[in-house]
Structure 1
Amino acid sequence: MKRKLLLLAALAGVLSLKGQVTGEPITAYGAIADGQTNNAAAIQQLIDKVSAGGGGRVRVPPGNFMSGPLYLKSGVELHLEPGARLLASTRHADYGDRPGRAAAFIAARDQTGISITGNGVIDGQGQELMLDLFKRLRSGEVKQDSVWRYKRPEGRPLLLTFTGCSKVKVTGVTLKNSADWVQDYRECNGVTIDGITVQSTAYWNNDGIDITDSKNVTITNCFINASDDALCFKSENPGSSCENIVVENCTLRSSASGLKFGTRSDGGFKNIKVRNLTIFDTYRSAIALESVDGGRLEQIDIRDVYAKNTGNAIFIRRGHRNQQGAVGTLKGIYIANVKVETPLLKPDQGYPVEGPPDHLRPGFDRMPARPSSFHIYGHPFLPYNLVPSSIVGLPGYPVEDVTLENIEISYGGRARKEIAHIPLDKITTVPENPANYPEFSMFGELPSWGFYIRHATGIKMINVTLRYVEDDFRPAMVVDDVKGISLVNVKIPTVKELPVIQLNNTTGYTAQGLELPVTGNKTILTTNYR
């Protein structure tokens, strides 16, 4: 009898715990699943109650629940059941009219232990929201000089914005159709993002995941399809940084770059580990590492990346956009086990929001016969020769200590001199562009097809294979103003013209196991142009 009572008591405890975990549904507070009623007041009331009671689950049951902005509070888990759709309001007035960025659909500031879980959908309805704005602009209800500026991101709401929060978890859900960046975790500590799907190509500037000056972040098992950078790390606070970041087992598609560090780099990035990425149909770079705003970019370890149909493989840039401040650092980079296929044609053509053209040159009457040539806004768009991967610093401020190991990159080729030609004795005329926005195409035409390395020290390339599909008249590699470059088992099987590698103003060059299909005393050309 005593044992039976103990079992019944234990069962009651389990049932009680189960009920506590399940939480209260938003419908118990008046939320209506008609896709039209603004349920913000009902949902917020439940969030506030649960947080005040010490935390717990707020449950969104199956159905279409529309809402204005919501504020997540400490201890609250917003749980979306299968079939649940939380729809952001499409009325721009619901997001306020204040200086700066519009309120996010779901926001939190200085909260602890917050989470969004489940298998439901959070839909920003970004396209419908912007159509509402344009309608009100045309009617005169909203002025173009108001906080909601026409076609600019400052007034558009993000889907999620968590600022200064700790112990943050977002798992399982689908985030889609944001009017701006999908999610930004800013100056947070302890962020777990796992198993989410991001489908956001409804409008411009739709970064998939932004991590800004946050620490101790784990991003795993995510699928991201974004009409801007897919996975983007930023540092906008000179006194802070992104540190202790782990990324694993993610698939990325982007109308900009796949994995990117340094759109802003005021503070910096340190101790980053990335493993097992699949990147596809991406307009700009598969991997972009940029330090241009005075911050540091150090201790970056990226391995096991497969990128297909992407505009550029690897872009590493140390610049000086903050011209009145110090030059940041970029050193201690290890990239390994990477295979990239860069096609001849535009890799993201046909997506709802394609990447913009990089070289718009008005005034040309005739176009070269190349399939990717077309007109934009009435101006002829002159195609450019494919841009190589690059490692580029500044005079006196080199990129330092970069190792590339087990790398295979295939380029479409088909470069043409009538599009652009930089003679070998003119390679120093490539512009420095120290203050330009960092992007793989920022230097315009480059004199090589495989790798362009300039202003660097301590470069190691181990088991690297570079090939093109169609002929390219340029050298495979141009190395300019570099101190210490080691090529070990580097294979370049497709070259036909000499030189294969041009070293200019470069010291400390060593090669072991170099495999080239051509021979001659000009296979590797050493020059001293300044």
Structure 2
Amino acid sequence: MKKKLFYKILVSLWMITALTLSVSAADFNILRFGAVADGSTINTIAIQKAIDACEQAGGGKVIFPEGRFLSGTIVLKNKVVLQIDKNAVLLGSTDLKDYQNLDPFTEGLGIDVGWALVVAVDVKNIGIIGEGTIDGQGQAIKERQILKDTRPEGQRWGLRPFLVRIVRCTGVHVKGVTLKYAGAWTSHYFQSKDIRIEGLKIESFGVAHNDGIDIDGCQDMIIRDCDIVSGDDALVFKTTSSKMSCKNIQVSGLKLKSNQAGIKMGTESMAAFENIKITNCYIYDTKNGGIKLLTVDGAHLKNIEISDITMDQVRTPMLFRLGSRLSVFRKATDTRQVTGVFENVRIKNVKAMASANAQLMPPSGILISGVPGHAISNLTLENIEITLAGGGLAEHAHQQVPEAIDQYPEVKTFGPRVPAYGVWARHVKGLRLINVKFHLENNDLRPALVVSDGKNIEVDHWEIPETTGAEAIIRLENVENALIQNLTGTGLVKQLVQQVDHTRGVRIVNAQIKSSKAQ
């Protein structure tokens, strides 16, 4: 990450802190505006009056004291900070008629969304702070909704409100609060700048699409020291519009549990993802991928660094995908784009215990795939250690994998399995796999590495687990120029490196597979 990026983010954070202090002179307790803390009285009008009065006074804090305050959509204004005190709860109404959609759009599955409990649009210097809770009552909303809305779940869920939406804002500080049980996405930040999210706790699951933190075309941002348990993706970067990229973002110290992905970029991917650094995170009990970087709608995904990640019981630790779905999510302002670019990504210092029960069976560690004519370029995986269940059979080693060029990008898209237990890579250029170690709990007759349609591949310092009866440790299919060096391990295999389909320019240096029948 460039020094000027760090400087810019530090300056931004200083500005946010200064602005927060500058607006803290006046406090507006919502009780003074008629709010009732009984958990059943609708307080939307009273809370909004407090927010409006705060803005008219030049800014300050709107205080939620101890108690349970039921509300529909409330709208943040310039220089207003919501302070939710300890034992205070902002409770979302279970009646969908109490919510507004101030910025409608279509998400990646084609559903119209955007309703929210707390929303800010085109304002500056705002915040949500405190030790209290915002509870969306998502499950109760769903139960009430389905009494009248009998459409399939995939069609009706979009009417349910997000918990927090920040739209085209500058100077945003979210700190310390607990976000619970959204009706849809828990928090969505769209085309906003100078954002700091810290010490946030999210417990949001029970209904469809309970993403934790959605970063959608935002810039100059820090996220740190958050604990997220989500029903859908825990931390996800999106670009639902081509007008503003996700750029200059630092993430650190997150604890992530999810029924989908831990860390994800895409699927909505129209504008670029660039200059993003994620470090020192723990991902656990995650059902659909640990780290997933996806650009399928025309975005340039580049200059990304993810490091010092620990995963425990994660299904399929990593997925990298460049595809050509080419969806449009804001049809009034955007048009269909051409296939994007995936380049200059570095993943390092990752240790993962993969779940034995995975989306693709038998499990695999890392999936990498571009599409014909569009290679993933200059991807480096360094200092990677993954423990896998194993169990692959001889016929699995030659599994044909669908291209799925225009499909929704998921691990299961490449099912029912891939032909390598460790790394499967297709349509790649400049792939570097350095200091990689796999552990197998059972014998696996698939190769540790399969590369198909690759150019300039480097495999260096791999530690291979013992396997017996496999056809090869590495298979290269239609690969041009590969350096394979410093391999160690034990096992009985027919070949060290199998070269097929016009593979050429392969160099093998210092391969020491003990007791093998390597050629």
Match of 2:306 in 1: 302
The answer (yes or no) to whether the contact 1:310–1:343 under 8 Å persists in 2 is yes
Is 1:247–2:251 an aligned residue pair? yes
Amino acid at match of 2:268: R
Aligned-pair CA distance for 1:313: 1.0
Q: Secondary structure at the match of 2:409?
A: coil
Equivalent of 2:292 in 281, 288, 291? 288
Equivalent of 2:146 in 131, 134, 138? 134
The answer (yes or no) to whether the contact 1:344–1:414 under 8 Å persists in 2 is no
Match of 2:15 in 1: none
Equivalent of 1:513 in 486, 496, 510? 486
Amino acid at match of 1:233: F
- In structure 2, how many angstroms separate the alpha carbons of the residues matched to 1:303 and 1:501? 26
The answer (yes or no) to whether the contact 2:248–2:275 under 8 Å persists in 1 is yes
Aligned-pair CA distance for 1:343: 2.0
Identity %: 35
Match of 2:375 in 1: 398
The answer (yes or no) to whether the contact 2:467–2:493 under 8 Å persists in 1 is no
Q: Secondary structure at the match of 1:436?
A: coil
- In structure 2, how many angstroms separate the alpha carbons of the residues matched to 1:184 and 1:325? 24
Q: Secondary structure at the match of 1:256?
A: coil
The answer (yes or no) to whether the contact 1:387–1:440 under 8 Å persists in 2 is no
Aligned-pair CA distance for 1:24: 2.5
Paired residues for 1:365-376 under 5 Å: none
The answer (yes or no) to whether the contact 1:68–1:95 under 8 Å persists in 2 is yes
Paired residues for 1:266-285 under 5 Å: 266-285=270-289
- In structure 2, how many angstroms separate the alpha carbons of the residues matched to 1:97 and 1:43? 18
Paired residues for 1:388-427 under 5 Å: 388-416=365-393, 421-422=395-396, 424=398
- In structure 1, how many angstroms separate the alpha carbons of the residues matched to 2:180 and 2:64? 17
- In structure 1, how many angstroms separate the alpha carbons of the residues matched to 2:278 and 2:338? 28
Higher strand share: 2
Equivalent of 1:450 in 412, 418, 422? 422
Paired residues for 1:148-159 under 5 Å: 152-159=156-163
The answer (yes or no) to whether the contact 1:87–1:122 under 8 Å persists in 2 is yes
Give the direction of change, closer, same or farther, for the CA distance of 1:471–1:520 in structure 2 (3 Å limit): closer
Match of 1:437 in 2: 408
Is 1:220–2:197 an aligned residue pair? no
Aligned-pair CA distance for 1:237: 1.3
Q: Secondary structure at the match of 1:517?
A: strand
Aligned-pair CA distance for 1:345: 2.5
Q: Deviations over 1:54-104 (max 9, x none)?
A: 100110001111111100111001001111111011112212599843530
- In structure 2, how many angstroms separate the alpha carbons of the residues matched to 1:518 and 1:84? 61
Match of 2:472 in 1: 499
Q: Secondary structure at the match of 2:462?
A: coil
Give the direction of change, closer, same or farther, for the CA distance of 1:498–1:467 in structure 2 (3 Å limit): farther
Is 1:163–2:173 an aligned residue pair? no
- In structure 1, how many angstroms separate the alpha carbons of the residues matched to 2:22 and 2:425? 59
Give the direction of change, closer, same or farther, for the CA distance of 1:511–1:96 in structure 2 (3 Å limit): closer
Equivalent of 1:485 in 424, 433, 457? 457
Give the direction of change, closer, same or farther, for the CA distance of 1:133–1:468 in structure 2 (3 Å limit): same
Give the direction of change, closer, same or farther, for the CA distance of 1:493–1:102 in structure 2 (3 Å limit): closer
Aligned-pair CA distance for 1:416: 4.5
TM-score (norm 1): 0.84
Give the direction of change, closer, same or farther, for the CA distance of 1:207–1:510 in structure 2 (3 Å limit): same
Aligned-pair CA distance for 1:122: 0.3
Amino acid at match of 1:494: E
Give the direction of change, closer, same or farther, for the CA distance of 1:97–1:232 in structure 2 (3 Å limit): closer
Give the direction of change, closer, same or farther, for the CA distance of 1:120–1:423 in structure 2 (3 Å limit): closer
Q: Secondary structure at the match of 1:28?
A: helix
Paired residues for 1:314-329 under 5 Å: 314-322=318-326, 325-329=337-341
471-480 or 90-99, which deviates more: 90-99
Amino acid at match of 1:156: R
- In structure 2, how many angstroms separate the alpha carbons of the residues matched to 1:443 and 1:529? 24
97-106 or 484-493, which deviates more: 97-106
Aligned-pair CA distance for 1:495: 2.4
Q: Secondary structure at the match of 1:473?
A: coil
Aligned-pair CA distance for 1:21: 4.5
Give the direction of change, closer, same or farther, for the CA distance of 1:150–1:430 in structure 2 (3 Å limit): closer
Match of 1:527 in 2: 500
Aligned-pair CA distance for 1:293: 0.7
The answer (yes or no) to whether the contact 1:476–1:495 under 8 Å persists in 2 is no
- In structure 1, how many angstroms separate the alpha carbons of the residues matched to 2:207 and 2:136? 11
Structure showing greater radius of gyration is 1
- In structure 2, how many angstroms separate the alpha carbons of the residues matched to 1:207 and 1:23? 32
- In structure 2, how many angstroms separate the alpha carbons of the residues matched to 1:295 and 1:97? 26
Aligned-pair CA distance for 1:396: 1.7
The answer (yes or no) to whether the contact 1:92–1:132 under 8 Å persists in 2 is no
Aligned-pair CA distance for 1:208: 0.2
Give the direction of change, closer, same or farther, for the CA distance of 1:423–1:299 in structure 2 (3 Å limit): closer
Report the number of matched residues.
465
Paired residues for 1:193-208 under 5 Å: 193-208=197-212
Give the direction of change, closer, same or farther, for the CA distance of 1:22–1:304 in structure 2 (3 Å limit): farther
Aligned-pair CA distance for 1:235: 0.8
